[in-house]
Amino acid sequence: MPDAECQGHGRDILRLLDSYLRYMDNYGGSYRDDDDTLGDFRPLDLRETALMGFGHRNERSFDGVMRMAASQAAYGIDHELTDADCSRWPRPGDPSGRGSRSCSELFRPARHNEAVPEGDTVWRACQRLNDVLAGRVLTRSEFRVPSLAATDLTGVGVREVTSRGKHQLFRLSNELTLHTHFRMDGVWKIFPRGRRWSGGPAFEIRAVLATDDHDVVGYRLPVIELVPTASEDAVIGHLGPDLLGPDWDLDEAVRRIAAQPDRTIGEALLDQRNLAGLGTFYRAELLFLHGVHPRKQVREVRNLRRVVQRGQLLLQANRWRPEQSTTGDLRPGRRAYVYQRLGQPCRRCGTPIRFEELGPPGEERHSYWCPHCQPGPGA
Ligand SMILES: [Zn+2]
């Protein structure tokens, strides 16, 4: 049988296809708004998306993969891969489209995602963790933080792994929840049993969870704690509506932001108590798309509801792939309108992009904008 990692990649492709088709359904192939956006949000290119998202650069073999994905999608998204499916998977670098490389090699993401994790990245990580842990019993656990040093979860089952905003929740069969947060550069890495761990030096490991099939290793996690599942609110109850949650509530998110009309919209969008999931990348891009300066007060933003709605759409569109793009272009250096483009010409008007640290003292976060497309406060 294809191994679990291979199955996981197969599911990723199907999900990618599914989310792409939904995306195209929603926007009819072009992304236009009747009033307030800058337009020209190019529809995602499926081929480009999958090529980049899965590090799969051989076009001939890519077509084979997509044909397989399409035929599997036709049979139902949950179809498990068979030996026959796996052997048909084309291999890169081989003109016949076949070869001997492993699936993990074939589908390794093209590059590390350099952005600080935002809601879509965390959501995707939790989906993958859930794939390998849900319904399994832990055969080993190890915590390298003082508060949990004596904790042993061996023999405990994992019910599910889910995200809430940028928080990760591992719900366990013993009625406890392992709560973690990535902050700037934390990460959970999944390794098939026997594979060498490769998420960083050993001293950066904070937690290890193992099943019969996988090792799941948490690197550089600044937040790691166990709480009763019934009391999860103690750690996530402060969060506003989750942009990628099943209970996403646009009205409530808008209400919370609007409740502080004197605040800058830039700060309000990053405040996870208003809405959970946005970071500096989406904030910058979202405000550019709506022509809103990050320092405008909430009261000055006339289309607040549409801004928030667009934030959710951007996360939805990006959640199944490692690269985040708001331009619809996944090539390096072309994924953003303003984020990390200080001094470079605005893609719309050519004006050099500006940068500052925005936020209350001690919580300043990177902010990018185009001074022409996003007129300042009062303008
Ligand atoms: Zn501009």
What pLDDT shows up at residue 82?
A: 44
Q: How far is the CA of 200 from the centre of ligand 1 (A)?
A: 39
Active site residue 117: yes
What pLDDT shows up at residue 271?
A: 94
Helix, strand and coil percent figures for the chain, each rounded to 5:
35, 20, 45
What pLDDT shows up at residue 226?
A: 96
Residue owning tokens 């399994």: 136
Nearest CA-CA partner of 308 in 279, 347, 269: 269
What pLDDT shows up at residue 260?
A: 97
Q: How far is the CA of 275 from the centre of ligand 1 (A)?
A: 27
Pairwise CA distance, residues 122 & 237, whole Å: 18
What pLDDT shows up at residue 178?
A: 98
Say if 119-236 and 250-369 have the same CATH topology: no
What pLDDT shows up at residue 262?
A: 97
What pLDDT shows up at residue 264?
A: 96
What pLDDT shows up at residue 15?
A: 55
Pairwise CA distance, residues 119 & 270, whole Å: 11
Active-site entry in 11, 15, 166, 310: 166
Instruction: Extract the tokens encoding 309.
Output: 């709605």
Q: pLDDT tens across 305-331, in order?
A: 999 999 999 998 888 877 888 988 888
Consecutive H or E run containing 209:
strand 205-210
CA dihedral 91, 74, 7, 67 (to 10 degrees): 10
CA dihedral 10, 12, 13, 15 (to 10 degrees): 120
Q: How far is the CA of 367 from the centre of ligand 1 (A)?
A: 15
What pLDDT shows up at residue 116?
A: 64
- Alpha helices (H) in the chain, listed in sequence order: 4-27, 46-53, 59-75, 83-88, 103-106, 119-133, 233-236, 250-258, 265-270, 280-289, 304-318
Query: How many C-beta neighbours within 10 Å does residue 202 have?
Result: 10
The residues of the chain scoring below 70 in pLDDT are 1-116
Q: How far is the CA of 372 from the centre of ligand 1 (A)?
A: 5
User: Angle at Cα 208 formed by Cα 203 and Cα 214, nearest 5°?
Assistant: 125
What pLDDT shows up at residue 13?
A: 54
Active site residue 166: yes
CATH of the domain spanning 250-369: 1.10.8.50
Active-site entry in 117, 241, 294, 322: 117
What pLDDT shows up at residue 370?
A: 95
272-304 burial code (b ≥16 CB/10 A, e <16): bebbbbbbbbbbbbbbbbbbbbbbbebebbebb
- Cα separation values, 211 from 192, 226, 336, Å: 10, 19, 39
Structural domain spans, the chain: 4-106, 119-236, 250-369
Pairwise CA distance, residues 292 & 368, whole Å: 11
Three-class DSSP category at 268: helix
Instruction: Extract the tokens encoding 180.
Output: 């973690």
With beta carbons less than 8 A apart as the criterion, state whether 88 and 64 touch.
Answer: yes
What pLDDT shows up at residue 12?
A: 55
Pick the CATH number of 119-236 from 3.20.190.10, 3.30.70.260, 3.30.479.20, 1.10.150.120: 3.20.190.10
With beta carbons less than 8 A apart as the criterion, state whether 131 and 8 touch.
Answer: yes
